[in-house]
Amino acid sequence: MTATAPWTTEKPTAMLVLADGTVIEGKGIGATGKVQAEVCFNTALTGYEEILTDPSYLGQIVTFTFPHIGNVGTNEEDIEDLTPAARHGAVGVIFKAEMTDPSNYRAIKHLDAWLKARGIIGMCGIDTRALTAWIRENGMPNAVIAHDPSGVFDLATLKAEAKAWSGLEGLDLAKVASSGQSSQWAQTPWVWNEGYGTLGSDDAKYHVVCLDYGVKRNILRLFAGLDCKVTVLPATSSTEDVLSLNPDGIFLSNGPGDPAATGEYAVPVIKDLIKTDIPLFGICLGHQMLGLAVGGKTAKMHQGHHGANHPVKDHTTGKVEIVSMNHGFAVDSNSLPEGVEETHVSLFDGSNCGLRLTGKPVFSVQHHPEASPGPQDSHYLFRRFINLVREKKGEAALAER
């Protein structure tokens, strides 16, 4: 099957070739070349720069269901990956409409030029509704996205490459997405017309150690905004590496790939850290690996959760929050053993979105509480974590909301 945009007679300069042989033609944007990856769709209406720089999207091609992407251009403040020189994030992108010139006071670069600079291969001019419907029916496919301004493609080779790619299952990408070296973080959240602030060394009350599996900057900013000095450690750090820093709290970050693959080296460390009774908090991949560490299982999802409009219920309060999601694997609720409580659940499909350990200062969530779609529905989770730290120090709790 070959699908071409019906409203154009231009020679296609981009191809999306699925593993089943489906070929979708369009107009190339961004970087040239080709890459094998998994295709997902994201339903967010805003935040495309944050999405494309989220390390959790490494190994994926993001199809935006919102038709007009690029209107606000790009800037240097909304990048989420910790090491932008390595350009960790989505490897491909698909839009329905062509990008327009930016119309936003914060824009400093056109999205197309930004995509080229980051090496993200893209295409536009296709029916993204049809592709989204295909993914909902058939699941997230392995594929090759290719962009060549000449319009010359070797379809036989592209089909073979799409079919041959092994996919994300069994793939450890945290080592790739991790910053790879220890670093300190002190930047605080963005304030209108002021930008980002800096936590002074004399203002830091707590020390949080982050195991970086592909951490997002805004997570670190929210910790700093709660008076936390943050030390970021590589994904492969040992128990001794963490404990030698004498942390008040430990954070397991988000990241890409299969949690079971990353868990081969990360889970033994997490098990050791749980035994210390140091407050521990995980997000996304960190949540999934905590689930593995306590005896649960993870599984690949059919279409995943990617968007900023997902309703999640917090069983500990009975409240519903609208959250940002980005994951293709999930913790199996039925696999959680005694002593592990399910705290959050997706109201879309009932999948697990949070857990905590009975009698221990350890919890995690699947969604991204720093991404602010609600706009601050989930920020309480950071205060919940800091309250565990404060409790251990004999300090009064902060108001969660």
The full set of domain ranges for the chain reads: 2-164, 174-392
Measured CA to CA, the distance from residue 165 to residue 135 in angstroms comes to 18
Measured CA to CA, the distance from residue 274 to residue 239 in angstroms comes to 11
Measured CA to CA, the distance from residue 82 to residue 86 in angstroms comes to 9
Amino acid at residue number 302: H
- Give which of 48, 56, 63 is closest to 88, Cα–Cα: 56
Question: Token pair for residue 246?
Answer: 């004498």
Measured CA to CA, the distance from residue 108 to residue 119 in angstroms comes to 18
Q: Which of 38, 49, 321, 370 is catalytic?
A: 370
Please indicate whether residue 40 is annotated as part of the active site: no
At 10 the pLDDT is 79
At 85 the pLDDT is 65
Non-local (6+) Cβ contacts of 259 within 8 A are 285, 288, 289, 291, 292, 298, 329
Locus of tokens 């889970």? 267
Q: Which of 287, 310, 327, 368 is catalytic?
A: 368
Q: Are strands 228-234 and 206-212 parallel, antiparallel or unpaired?
A: parallel
At 1 the pLDDT is 46
At 361 the pLDDT is 98
Say whether 176 sits in a helix, a strand or coil.
Answer: helix
Q: Which of 40, 210, 228, 284 is catalytic?
A: 284
Q: Taking the domain 174-392, which CATH number applies?
A: 3.40.50.880
Please indicate whether residue 169 is annotated as part of the active site: no
At 3 the pLDDT is 54
**How remote is the C-alpha of 238 from its chain's centroid?**
24
Pick the CATH number of 2-164 from 1.10.1070.20, 3.40.190.10, 3.50.30.20, 3.40.1370.10: 3.50.30.20
Label each residue of the chain as H, E or C: CEECCCCCCCCCCEEEEECCCCEEEEEEEEECEEEEEEEEEECCCCCHHHHHCCHHHCCEEEEECCCCCCCCCECCCCCCECCHHHCCCCCEEECCCCCCCCCCCCCCECHHHHHHHHCCEEEECCCHHHHHHHHHHHCCCEEEEEECCCCCCCHHHHHHHHHHCCCCCCCECHHHHCCCCCEEECEEEEECCCEEEECCCCCCCEEEEEEECCCEHHHHHHHHHCCEEEEEEECCCCHHHHHCCCCCEEEECCCCECHHHHHHHHHHHHHHHHHCCCCEEEECHHHHHHHHHCCCCEEEEEEEEEEEEEEEEECCCCEEEEEEEEEEEEECHHHCCCCEEEEEEECCCCCEEEEEECCCCEEEECCECCCCCCCCCCCHHHHHHHHHHHHHCCCCCCCCC
The whole-model pTM stands at 0.96
Please indicate whether residue 370 is annotated as part of the active site: yes
What does residue 142 show for φ and ψ, rounded to 5 degrees?
-75, 145
Which string of DSSP letters, residue by residue, matches 124-137?
ESS-HHHHHHHHHH
At 374 the pLDDT is 67
At 77 the pLDDT is 93
- Residue spans of the chain under pLDDT 70: 1-9, 84-85, 373-374
